[in-house]
C-alpha cells in the first residue's frame, strides 16, 4: 500500500459517521435541469480509457462508466475477445461474474492501471462511475476465491438458501430476490460479513477518486417490503441501508457523504417491481422509455407513442436514460440492428431534454449491423460515434441549457422532433430516412439561425421554426 493511498484511507476513516438522509425521488421539481452525460466505455480497459480521456472530455461527456473492476471469472486463454462462440478466448460477461471484491482483473487491468486512469479523469474533469454487482458470484462457485469465502464466513454463508436455484418467474419477488437471476448464484447480501467485505471494496474505490456507482441487477437485491431468507436467520433486507451509508456494518460505513455520489440501480421495469421503494435509495434506469425510443426508431415515426413521459414512478431528474444499453446490444441484441445514424438521432433528442441523465453506449470498433462485435478485441476503444459532431453538439447543448425548461413538439407525420429549451435554444431531429421539413412552435425569438454542426439555416417567424432537414440528421440551434 502506497503512502499516498494510506493517507487518503485514513482521512476517509476519520470522516463523521453520519447516516444518509432520505430523499424523495418520486416528486418532480419542474425547475430541475440535468446537465450530466455518461459515456459507457463498455469493454474498454484502463489504459484505453486513460489514453482517450481528453477526447471524452472534449466530446462533452461529464462522466465515464467503466465495466466491472473486481476480480472475476477468468479461465485460461480468456480475456482476448468480446465474444467468442467457442468460449475459449473470453466473453464480455465474464467480468459480470465476481470471484472476489478486490480491484483488478484480466480484462480491464490492474489496480495501478486503474489509478492512472483515475488520475487522467481528474486531469480533464471527468467523473468516473464504476459498475458494481454485489448480487451474485461467478457461475463456477469453485472459481470464487478462498479469501472471499473466508471473509463471509464460509461457502454456506455466501449464498441465499435457494441461491443456486434459477429464477423461474421474474415477477415473483421471492424468486427475484432470493433465487439465482440468469442462473448466477445469488449472494446472501444480508450477511453482515459480506456487507463489511463489500463496503471495504467500495471505500477503496472512493479513496481512488471514484464518484459514483451503477448497481447491476439491483432489483434482485431485496428492499424492506420483500421476503427475507428466514432459513439464514435474516430479519430484514438491509443491504441498501448499508450500501447507501444509512447504517454501518461491523464498524464499516460508506466513507463519503452519499449525496456527493452519482448512484443508480439497474432496476429493469416489469410487473411487481417496487420502484418507489428503490427510489428511496438511488436513481433508477428508465428501461421502459428506452424501449419506446427504439420502437420509434424502428417505425421512423413517433406517432402513437408517448415520447414525452419517462414512464416511471421516479421523478425524471433521478432517472438514467438511454437509447440502448450493453444488455440490449450484446445480450438480447434487441437494439443491435439499429444503425449508428438511428442511435445518434435518438441520442440527440434524449440529451436535448431537460431531465434524465443520458448514457451513451460505446459500440465496438468496426461493428456493423451484421457483425455486432466488429474487431472483437476486449479492452480496445469503441467506434467513433461517441465523438461524432452531432453527439458532441448535443452534449454541449445540454450543459448550456441549464435552467431552461423544455417543450417537446412532434410534427404531424411523427418524423420530426423538436426539443425547445425556453428562449435559449432548440434541437431539431429528423428520425426518418427521408428528407423532411420542420414547421413547429418554438420559444426562440424571431430571426435567422444557423445550426452549430452543419451551418444549416433555419428561420423563426411568429413563434414557428421552419427549415429543411436531411434524412436521419440532427441540428442544434442556440440563441
Query: Which residues are tagged catalytic?
Result: 216, 266
With a CB cutoff of 8 Å and minimum separation 6, the contacts of 150 are: none
Evaluate whether 230 touches 279 at the Cβ level (below 8 Å). no
Among the listed residues 256, 266, 275, 370, the one whose alpha carbon sits nearest the alpha carbon of residue 40: 266
CA dist 116 and 429 (Å) reads 39
Q: Report the SS3 class of residue 416.
A: strand
Q: Report the SS3 class of residue 79.
A: coil
**Range list of β-strands (E), 271-350:** 283-285, 319-322
Give φ, ψ of 381 to 5 degrees. -65, 150
Pairing between β-strand 38-40 and β-strand 474-478 as defined by DSSP bridges: unpaired
CA dist 391 and 9 (Å) reads 38
Q: Report the SS3 class of residue 250.
A: coil
Evaluate whether 344 touches 388 at the Cβ level (below 8 Å). yes
Amino acid at each position: 500500500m502506497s503512502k499516498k493511498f494510506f493517507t487518503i484511507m485514513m482521512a476517509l476513516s476519520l470522516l463523521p459517521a453520519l447516516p444518509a438522509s432520505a430523499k424523495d425521488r418520486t416528486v418532480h421539481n419542474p425547475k430541475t435541469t440535468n446537465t450530466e452525460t455518461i459515456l459507457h466505455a463498455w469493454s474498454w480497459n484502463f489504459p484505453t480509457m486513460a489514453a482517450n480521456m481528453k477526447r471524452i472530455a472534449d466530446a462533452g461527456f461529464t462522466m465515464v462508466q467503466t465495466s466491472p473492476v473486481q476480480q472475476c471469472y477468468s479461465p485460461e486463454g480468456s480475456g482476448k475477445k468480446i465474444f467468442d462462440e467457442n468460449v475459449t478466448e473470453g466473453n464480455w460477461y465474464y467480468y459480470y461474474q465476481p470471484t472476489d471484491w478486490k480491484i483488478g482483473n484480466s480484462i480491464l487491468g490492474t489496480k495501478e492501471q486503474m489509478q492512472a486512469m483515475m488520475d487522467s479523469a481528474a486531469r480533464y474533469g471527468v467523473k468516473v462511475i464504476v459498475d458494481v454487482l454485489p448480487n451474485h458470484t461467478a457461475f463456477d462457485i469453485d472459481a470464487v476465491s478462498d479469501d472471499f469465502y473466508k471473509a463471509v464466513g464460509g461457502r454456506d454463508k455466501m449464498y441465499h438458501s435457494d441461491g443456486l436455484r434459477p429464477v423461474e418467474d421474474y415477477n415473483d419477488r421471492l424468486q427475484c430476490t432470493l433465487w439465482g437471476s440468469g442462473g448466477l448464484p445469488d449472494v446472501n447480501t444480508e450477511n453482515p460479513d459480506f456487507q463489511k467485505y463489500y463496503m471495504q471494496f467500495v471505500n477503496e474505490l472512493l479513496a481512488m477518486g471514484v464518484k459514483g456507482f451503477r448497481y447491476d441487477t439491483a432489483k434482485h437485491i431485496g428492499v424492506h417490503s420483500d421476503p427475507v431468507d428466514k432459513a439464514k436467520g435474516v430479519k430484514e433486507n438491509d443491504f441498501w441501508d448499508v450500501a447507501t451509508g444509512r447504517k454501518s456494518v461491523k464498524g464499516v460505513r460508506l466513507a463519503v457523504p452519499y449525496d456527493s455520489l452519482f448512484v443508480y440501480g439497474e432496476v429493469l421495469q416489469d410487473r411487481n417491481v417496487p420502484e418507489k421503494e428503490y427510489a428511496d435509495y438511488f436513481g433508477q434506469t428508465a428501461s421502459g422509455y428506452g424501449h419506446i425510443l427504439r420502437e420509434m426508431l424502428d417505425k421512423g415515426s413517433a406517432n402513437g407513442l408517448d415520447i414525452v413521459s419517462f414512464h416511471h414512478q421516479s421523478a425524471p431528474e433521478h432517472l438514467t436514460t438511454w437509447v440502448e444499453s450493453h444488455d440490449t446490444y450484446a445480450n438480447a441484441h434487441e437494439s443491435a440492428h439499429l444503425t449508428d445514424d438511428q442511435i445518434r438521432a435518438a441520442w440527440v433528442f434524449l440529451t436535448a431534454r431537460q431531465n434524465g441523465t443520458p448514457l451513451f453506449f460505446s459500440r465496438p470498433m468496426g461493428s456493423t449491423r451484421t457483425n455486432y462485435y466488429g474487431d472483437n478485441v476486449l479492452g480496445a476503444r469503441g467506434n467513433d460515434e461517441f465523438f461524432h459532431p452531432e453527439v458532441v453538439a448535443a452534449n454541449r447543448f445540454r450543459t448550456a441549457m441549464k435552467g431552461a425548461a423544455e417543450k417537446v413538439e412532434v410534427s404531424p407525420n411523427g418524423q420530426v422532433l423538436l426539443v425547445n429549451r425556453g428562449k435559449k435554444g432548440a434541437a431539431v431531429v429528423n428520425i426518418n430516412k427521408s428528407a423532411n421539413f420542420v414547421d413547429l412552435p418554438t420559444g426562440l425569438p424571431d430571426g435567422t439561425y444557423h445550426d452549430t454542426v452543419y451551418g444549416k439555416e433555419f428561420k423563426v417567424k411568429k413563434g414557428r421554426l421552419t427549415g429543411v432537414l436531411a434524412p436521419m440528421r440532427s441540428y442544434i440551434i442556440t440563441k
